[in-house]
Amino acid sequence: MTAARLLACVLALGALGFYAGPHRALEADEGELAEIAAVIAGRDVTIACPGTLATLTKVSAQDGSVEFSPHGRPADEAKLSSGTCSRLRSILHGEIAGLGCLASAGDCPEEVREAAVAVNVLSHEAWHLAGERDEAVTQCYALQTNADTALRLGASPEDARAVAAFVFGDVQPALPPEYRTSECHDGGPLDLHPERTAWP
Ligand SMILES: [Zn+2]
């Protein structure tokens, strides 16, 4: 082997080593996100975030997705966009400060609002993993579990409530019609806790 090829090999190994660190961290975070989704799904599921290279080369049009079989059976895995993954991971790592500002009427930083949207994406895809295929029903259930999801991601109870309220009040009304239904209200047929008066 020539010196040049040996050098190339060493460089290649060095590059792999460079990626191994972040990759391991990504897998650990995917595992944590999967555990949170599993609570809603009621079964073991996995969460897939794009790898470092995929993140650089592919821009996903969707925030998240779960495939269904022709018979209506959901896959065991939800795929999340790189943007959604990085926001959820930031919350997991405690890197998003000031989620509580979502509860106030004033403007919150873009980073904070996007983090709240990412929480909703995780709840939403988890309900697909639970077997619900209808988008409006799935999203109605997500609205009602966003506070729990935020809590499990590490948000304080106040911040978790702020996230859920923001998604309900600011994000939900702007979603396409297929994600909304008039049946989604307190005491309605999609109310997960009819005995509670708190909504969502
Ligand atoms: Zn959906």
Task: Name the pLDDT band for 166 (thresholds 50, 70, 90).
Answer: very high
Contact assessment for residue 187 and residue 194, using Cβ atoms and an 8 Å cutoff: yes
Task: Name the pLDDT band for 61 (thresholds 50, 70, 90).
Answer: low
Ligand 1 centroid to residue 10 C-alpha, Å: 45
Ligand 1 centroid to residue 193 C-alpha, Å: 22
Q: Is the peptide bond before 22 cis (omega within 30 degrees of 0)?
A: no
Kindly list the distances between the CA atom of residue 54 and the CA atoms of 59, 81, 189, in Å, as whole numbers in the listed order.
Answer: 8, 10, 41
Task: Name the pLDDT band for 104 (thresholds 50, 70, 90).
Answer: confident
Task: Name the pLDDT band for 106 (thresholds 50, 70, 90).
Answer: confident
Task: Name the pLDDT band for 62 (thresholds 50, 70, 90).
Answer: confident
Residue 170 in domain: yes
Q: What is the pTM of this model?
A: 0.87
Residue 185 in domain: no
* Domain extent for 118: 25-179
- Over the stretch 167-189, which tens digit does the pLDDT of each residue have? 999 999 999 999 999 999 999 99
Residue 88 in domain: yes
Residue 125 in domain: yes
Contact assessment for residue 160 and residue 105, using Cβ atoms and an 8 Å cutoff: no
Task: Name the pLDDT band for 97 (thresholds 50, 70, 90).
Answer: confident
Residue 106 in domain: yes
Ligand 1 centroid to residue 74 C-alpha, Å: 12
Q: How far apart are CA 77 and CA 32, in angstroms?
A: 14
Ligand 1 centroid to residue 183 C-alpha, Å: 17
Kindly list the distances between the CA atom of residue 7 and the CA atoms of 3, 4, 15, 16, 19, in Å, as whole numbers in the listed order.
Answer: 6, 5, 12, 14, 19
- To the nearest whole number, what is the mean pLDDT of the chain? 90
Burial 79-107 (b: 16+ CB within 10 A, else e): bbbbbbbbbbbbbbeeebeebbbbeeeee
Q: For a pLDDT cut of 90, what percent of the chain falls above it?
A: 76
3-class DSSP state of 71: coil
* 29: number of Cβ within 10 Å: 19
Task: Name the pLDDT band for 4 (thresholds 50, 70, 90).
Answer: low
Instruction: Report whether pLDDT(16) > 60.
Output: no
Residue 51's pLDDT is what? 81
Q: Spell out the residues 6+ positions from residue 140 whose beta carbon is closer than 8 angstroms to its own.
A: 181, 183, 184, 190
Angle at 144 between CA 73 and CA 123, to 5 degrees: 50
Ligand 1 centroid to residue 20 C-alpha, Å: 32
Residue 197 in domain: no
- Max mean pLDDT among 11-20, 35-44, 102-111 falls in 35-44
Token code pair at residue 101: 């500002």
Ligand 1 centroid to residue 62 C-alpha, Å: 10
Contact assessment for residue 120 and residue 166, using Cβ atoms and an 8 Å cutoff: no
Ligand 1 centroid to residue 135 C-alpha, Å: 5
Ligand 1 centroid to residue 105 C-alpha, Å: 28
Backbone angles phi, psi at 82, to 5 degrees: -65, -35
DSSP annotation of 42: T
The better pLDDT of the pair 115, 107 is held by 115
Residue 45 in domain: yes
The better pLDDT of the pair 52, 200 is held by 200
Ligand 1 centroid to residue 132 C-alpha, Å: 9
Residue 99 in domain: yes
Ligand 1 centroid to residue 81 C-alpha, Å: 13
Ligand 1 centroid to residue 146 C-alpha, Å: 15
Residue 107's pLDDT is what? 84
Ligand 1 centroid to residue 18 C-alpha, Å: 35
Total tally of structural domains belonging to the chain = 1
- Over the stretch 124-158, which tens digit does the pLDDT of each residue have? 999 999 999 999 999 999 999 999 999 999 999 99
Ligand 1 centroid to residue 65 C-alpha, Å: 7
